[in-house]
Amino acid sequence: MNEYNHIDVRPFGANAGAEVRGIDITSPLEKEVVREIKTAWQAHLVLLFRDQNLEPQQHMTFAQYFGEPQKAGFVPTLKEFPFIRHQEFNKNPGEKISKIGGVNLLWHHDDSFWKVPSKGSILHGIDVPDVGGDTLFVSMIAAYDALSSEMKSMVDNLTCYHDLTFFIQDTIIEEMGMQALERIKKENPPVEHPLVVVQPKTGKKALYVDEMHVSKIKGMHPEESKCLLEFLSQHTSKPEFQCRIRWSNSTVIMWDNLCVKHRGVHDFGTAHREMQRIALVGEHSPKAP
């Protein structure tokens, strides 16, 4: 039975990723259309919409169908739209790019260093390179399902520390100074999250671990923690769990931030790349099985 009567959903990844066709998301959407997009989002985790030239207010309106826009914190935003995060590379030839701005090249879940991370994001490509700059996503549900039963039994009951400064501590000192690092650490202390979480609507289990923010597994000897985290990093990064977005101008993607980790690919040299993103407020802390 076809679940979709108002949209055309075409999967492009075995475990994550589907393109949604047949709708104009720059215009107001009927309730049934929104319901079908939510169904597709839950099933495919990452949704792709092509040729959607969203103005900022249209971006806000579309995001609000799926949740409450999240304050951007210290991330640059559009002046008139403080909930729309603005990311731009190579605006001016020869400009120095902050290393902190490049940390999205590592696999990560957005805001996992918060007690209640964002539940998802909607990202709009404004001006993207002709070649390069792809974004990769991993289904952490598929990655969990592929573990042995023995490994599942081990990780099901583990907890990780998520730390904003874990990977970028030296860069913060280099670019902002020691006092800035101390302030950021004080304002953003490490938080604990289950290593395995449950997708609220389906009850499916997913790994919740990444290279950027997870500093240690609680209760383990540092070397034990390091070994297990390295294994999980290699396991979850396998191509069979991934989907890849090749950008073009006016492409919009939305992803589930709980059950998907992602990373950018900075292979576009000096080409200009401008993106706008709205994150959605999380509804609760990640839950263990």
How do residues 217-242 score in pLDDT, each as one tens digit?
Answer: 999 999 999 999 999 999 999 999 99
Report the share of the chain in percent with pLDDT over 90.
78
Indicate whether 288 belongs to any domain: no
Query: What is the Cα Rg of the chain in Å?
Result: 19
Q: Is there a contact between 10 and 21 (Cβ–Cβ < 8 Å)?
A: yes
User: What average pLDDT does range 37-52 have in this prediction?
Assistant: 98
What is the pTM for the complete model shown? 0.93
Domain residues for the domain of 182 are 8-280
Indicate whether 204 belongs to any domain: yes
Confidence of residue 175 (pLDDT cuts 50, 70, 90): low
Better pLDDT: 287 or 106: 287
Whether the pLDDT of residue 102 is over 60: the answer is no
d(CA 86, CA 78): 6
CB atoms within 10 A of CB 248: 12
46-49/252-256 β-pairing: antiparallel
d(CA 71, CA 79): 13
> Can you give the pLDDT at residue 135?
97
| CATH value at residue 155 | 3.60.130.10
> Can you give the pLDDT at residue 94?
60
DSSP string, the chain: --S-SS-EEEE-SSSS-EEEES--TTS---HHHHHHHHHHHHHHSEEEE-S----HHHHHHHHHTTSPBPP-TTS-EETTEEEEEEEEE-SSTTPPPPSGGGGGGS-B-TTTTSSS--SEEEEEEEE--SS---EEEEEHHHHHHTS-HHHHHHHTT-EEEE-TTTTTHHHHHHHH-HHHHHHHHHHS--EEEESEEE-TTT--EEE---TTTEEEETTS-HHHHHHHHHHHHHHHT-GGGEEEEPP-TT-EEEEETTTEEEEE----TT--EEEEEEEE--SS-----
Q: Is there a contact between 205 and 198 (Cβ–Cβ < 8 Å)?
A: yes
Domains: count for the chain:
1
> Can you give the pLDDT at residue 72?
82
Indicate whether 138 belongs to any domain: yes
Classify each residue of 168-204 as buried b or exposed e, where b means 16 or more C-beta atoms within 10 Å of its C-beta. beebbeeeeeeeebeebeeeeebbebbbbbbbeeeeb
Report the share of the chain in percent with pLDDT over 70.
92
Indicate whether 285 belongs to any domain: no
> Can you give the pLDDT at residue 105?
76
Q: Which of 56-70, 157-171, 183-197 has the lowest mean pLDDT?
A: 157-171
Indicate whether 136 belongs to any domain: yes
User: What average pLDDT does range 12-26 have in this prediction?
Assistant: 98
d(CA 12, CA 168): 33
Indicate whether 289 belongs to any domain: no
Of 140, 147, 146, which is closest to residue 242 (Cα–Cα)? Answer: 140
Beta bridge partners of 18: 11, 47
Indicate whether 286 belongs to any domain: no
d(CA 242, CA 42): 16
> Can you give the pLDDT at residue 101?
53
Better pLDDT: 14 or 98: 14
Whether the pLDDT of residue 95 is over 80: the answer is no
Whether the pLDDT of residue 1 is over 70: the answer is no
Whether the pLDDT of residue 202 is over 80: the answer is yes
Indicate whether 273 belongs to any domain: yes
Tens of pLDDT, residues 133-171: 999 999 999 999 999 999 999 999 999 999 987 766 667
> Can you give the pLDDT at residue 188?
78
Whether the pLDDT of residue 125 is over 70: the answer is yes
Whether the pLDDT of residue 25 is over 70: the answer is yes
